[in-house]
C-alpha cells in the first residue's frame, strides 16, 4: 500500500470536506460562554437545522490561505524554531555532542529509545507537545543515523511517545483538564487511575518502538563512522566548553518553555520569541557572527518551509467543514445512536466515535468543548459516570492524533524527517490497536470501579 504525497493527501481530504458540505444537512447547536473554561461551549439539546451553506471548489481553495492564517502562530513558530536549531547545527555543537553520546553508549545504544520515549512522553503528559518537537528533528535524525536506526524511529520516540503521553495524561491542560472542567469534575480527579494506564500505555509504545528498531537496525559496518572518544579528541572534534554552554542554553530554553506554558500562560508567539532569542545567543557563543547566524536562520527557514505549510493545509480542512455548517451535524449524527446501548457498549462506542470525530475536528481542546456538553447529559441518563465519559473522549481523540492526516503537527513531523505516511501507518497499526484495546479496558475498569 502506498499513500499519495502528503500535500496530495491533504488536498484530497479538503475535497472530501467540501463534498460533505453538499451531502450533509447544515445544522448548529446553540453556544454559551463558559466562565470556568473561558471558552464557547455548546448547549446540549439545542441542535437545529440551519440554512445550507455548501462549499464550492473555489471556496475550498480559498480555505487554504485562510487555514494558514488561522494557524499562523504555529507556522511561524515552526519557522523560528527551525531557524534557531539550524544555528545550533551550524556551530557543530550538536554533531560533536551526539558523536560523544554514541561513542559513550557503545553497545548500550538501544537505551536511547526508552530514555527518549520517557522524556518526550513526559512532554506530552505535561503540555501536549506536538509542533514543539519539530525543533528536535536535526538532532534526532543525526542520533538515530549514528545508532543505525531509521528516521521512523526518530518520529516514534518523539511525536509518537508525546501523543501517547498526552492521550493517557492525568494533567494535560489542553485535553483532560478542559474536559473535566466542562464535565464539572474536579481537576486531576481520577489521578491514580489514569497514572496506572499511562504507565501501561507508555510501556506498550516503548516496547513496540524498540522491537521495530531492533528489526530494522542497519549493521554497524553500514553506519556513519563514529570515532571513539580518544580518536575524537585527537581529531579536535571532542565537545569543547562552548558546546557544553550551548547545550546548557538549549536546555534552559526548554525549561523556560515548560514554565512559561504552565505558569505564565505563554502561547506560540511567546515560544517563537524565546527560541529566536536562543538561536541568536547560540550564534554569538558559537562564533558564527551576525552574518553567519542570519545565514543559518535562513537555512532553517528553508528546510522546514514545506513542513510548516502542511500545518496550514491541514487547518484548511476544518475551515471548510466549519464554513459548510456541518461540524455540529457530524457530532449529532455520531453520538445520537449510542443513547440506546448498554452502559459498557456506550462507553466503548463513545471512545470509538471520539476517534472518528477527531478527523474533521483536529483540535483536542476544541473537541472537548464541542462534545462534552452533549455527552455529559447523555451519560447521566445512561447511568455512566462523567469520569468515564471524559476518559472515552481522552483516549479516542488523543490516540487518533497518532494517525489522522488532519493533524498538521504529525504531517509536518513526517515531512521534516522524510518518513512516508504509509511507512508510519504500517509501523503504527498494530500498536494503535493495542492502545485502543488498553483504552477500552480502562473504560470497563472505570465502570466496574464506579470511577
Tens of pLDDT, residues 313-347? 888 988 999 899 998 888 888 888 887 788 899 99
pLDDT at residue 437 is higher than 90: yes
Amino acid 160: pLDDT? 95
Name which of 168, 133, 170 is nearest 154 in CA terms: 133
Q: State the DSSP string of 220-232.
A: GGGSPP---HHHH
Q: Give dist(CA 194, CA 190) in Å, integer.
A: 6
pLDDT over 70 (residue 79): yes
pLDDT at 205 over 90: yes
In terms of residue numbers, what domain contains 229? Answer: 6-448
State yes or no: pLDDT of 230 exceeds 50: no
Count: domains in the chain:
1
- pTM beyond 0.85: the answer is no
48-60 residue pLDDT tens: 999 999 999 999 9
Per-residue b or e along 22-37, where b marks 16 or more CB atoms closer than 10 Å to that residue's CB: eebebbbbebeeeeeb
Helix 137-147 to helix 93-105 angle (10° resolution) is 30
pLDDT at 220: 64
Condensed to tens digits (0 to 9), the pLDDT of residues 125-142 reads 987 888 878 878 888 888
Extract long-range pairs of 345-348: CB within 8 Å, 24+ residues apart.
346/379, 346/382, 346/384, 347/384, 347/388, 347/389, 347/392, 347/443, 347/444, 347/446, 347/447, 348/392, 348/440, 348/443, 348/444
Average pLDDT over residues 301-321: 87
Indicate the pLDDT class of residue 307, thresholds 50, 70 and 90: confident
CB 356 within 8 A of CB 337: no
Is residue 224 included in any domain, yes or no? yes
Percent of the chain with pLDDT over 90: 37
* pLDDT over 80 at 221, yes or no: no
Most confident of 74-88, 215-229, 391-405: 391-405
pLDDT of residue 254: 82
Q: Are 338 and 346 in contact (CB under 8 A)?
A: yes
Task: State yes or no: pLDDT of 61 exceeds 90.
Answer: yes
Q: Does the pLDDT of residue 156 top 90, yes or no?
A: yes
- pLDDT > 90? residue 219: no
Is the pLDDT reported for residue 277 higher than 90? yes
Look up cell 485502543; give the residue: 436
Per-residue confidence band for 233, with pLDDT thresholds at 50, 70 and 90 = very low
CB 96 within 8 A of CB 243: yes
Q: What is the pLDDT of residue 234?
A: 35
Give the angle subtended at the CA of 131 by the CAs of 288 and 37, to the nearest 5°.
Answer: 130
Residue 1 is assigned to a structural domain of this protein: no
Residue 354's pLDDT band, with cuts at 50, 70 and 90, is very high
Contact yes or no for 314/123 (Cβ under 8 A): no
Q: Does the structure show a pLDDT above 90 at 392?
A: yes
pLDDT bucket at 21, cuts 50 / 70 / 90? very high
pLDDT digits (tens, 9 = 90+) for 93-105: 877 877 777 777 6
pLDDT number for residue 227? 43
The label of the residue with cell 502561547 reads 267
Lowest mean pLDDT among 103-117, 357-371, 399-413: 103-117
pLDDT of residue 232: 42
The pLDDT score that the predictor gives to residue 229 is 43
Residue 399 lies in a domain: yes
Predicted confidence at residue 237, as pLDDT, reads 57
**pLDDT score for 1:** 63
How far CA 377 is from CA of 21, 43, 359, 389, 402, in Å, comes to 28, 10, 24, 10, 29
Residue 274 lies in a domain: yes
Can you list the positions of beta strands (E) in 133-224? none
Q: For residues 209-227, give the mean pLDDT.
A: 74
Amino acid at each position: 500500500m502506498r499513500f499519495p504525497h502528503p500535500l496530495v493527501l491533504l488536498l484530497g481530504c479538503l475535497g472530501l470536506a467540501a463534498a460533505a458540505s453538499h451531502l450533509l444537512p447544515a445544522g448548529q447547536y446553540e453556544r454559551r460562554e463558559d466562565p470556568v473554561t473561558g471558552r464557547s461551549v455548546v448547549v446540549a439539546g439545542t441542535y437545529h437545522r440551519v440554512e445550507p451553506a455548501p462549499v464550492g471548489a473555489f471556496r475550498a481553495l480559498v480555505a487554504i490561505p485562510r487555514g494558514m492564517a488561522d494557524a499562523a502562530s504555529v507556522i511561524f513558530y515552526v519557522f523560528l524554531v527551525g531557524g534557531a536549531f539550524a544555528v545550533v547545527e551550524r556551530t557543530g555543537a550538536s554533531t560533536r555532542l551526539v558523536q560523544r553520546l554514541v561513542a559513550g553508549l557503545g553497545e548500550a545504544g538501544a537505551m536511547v529509545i526508552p530514555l527518549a520515549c520517557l522524556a518526550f512522553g513526559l512532554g506530552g503528559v505535561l503540555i501536549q507537545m506536538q509542533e514543539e518537537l519539530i525543533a528536535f528533528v536535526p538532532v534526532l535524525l543525526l542520533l538515530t543515523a549514528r545508532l543505525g536506526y531509521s528516521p521512523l524511529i526518530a518520529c516514534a520516540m518523539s511525536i509518537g511517545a508525546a501523543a501517547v503521553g498526552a492521550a493517557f495524561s492525568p494533567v494535560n491542560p489542553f485535553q483532560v483538564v478542559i474536559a473535566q472542567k466542562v464535565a464539572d469534575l474536579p481537576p486531576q480527579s481520577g489521578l491514580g487511575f489514569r497514572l496506572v494506564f499511562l504507565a501501561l500505555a507508555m510501556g506498550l509504545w516503548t516496547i513496540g518502538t524498540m522491537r521495530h528498531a531492533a528489526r530494522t537496525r542497519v549493521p554497524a559496518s553500514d553506519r556513519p563512522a563514529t570515532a571513539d572518544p580518544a580518536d575524537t579528541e585527537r581529531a579536535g572534534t571532542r565537545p569543547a566548553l562552548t558546546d557544553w554552554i550551548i547545550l546548557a542554553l538549549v536546555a534552559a530554553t526548554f525549561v523556560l518553555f515548560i514554565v512559561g506554558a504552565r505558569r505564565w500562560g505563554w502561547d506560540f508567539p511567546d515560544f517563537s520569541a524565546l527560541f529566536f532569542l536562543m538561536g541568536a545567543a547560540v550564534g554569538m557563543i558559537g562564533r558564527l557572527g551576525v552574518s553567519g547566524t542570519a545565514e543559518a536562520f535562513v537555512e532553517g527557514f528553508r528546510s522546514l518551509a514545506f513542513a510548516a505549510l502542511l500545518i496550514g493545509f491541514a487547518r484548511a480542512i476544518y475551515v471548510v467543514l466549519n464554513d459548510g455548517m456541518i461540524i455540529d451535524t457530524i457530532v449529532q449524527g455520531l453520538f445520537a445512536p449510542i443513547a440506546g446501548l448498554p452502559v459498557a457498549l456506550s462507553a466503548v462506542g463513545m471512545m470509538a466515535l471520539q476517534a472518528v470525530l477527531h478527523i474533521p475536528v483536529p483540535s483536542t481542546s476544541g473537541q472537548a468543548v464541542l462534545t462534552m456538553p452533549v455527552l455529559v447529559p447523555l451519560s447521566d441518563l445512561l447511568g455512566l459516570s462523567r469520569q468515564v465519559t471524559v476518559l472515552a473522549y481522552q483516549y479516542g481523540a488523543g490516540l487518533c492524533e497518532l494517525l489522522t492526516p488532519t493533524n498538521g503537527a504529525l504531517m509536518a513531523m513526517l515531512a521534516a524527517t522524510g518518513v512516508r505516511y504509509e511507512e508510519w501507518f504500517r509501523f503504527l497499526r498494530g500498536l494503535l490497536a493495542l492502545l485502543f484495546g488498553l483504552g477500552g479496558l480502562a473504560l470497563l475498569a472505570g465502570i466496574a470501579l464506579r470511577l
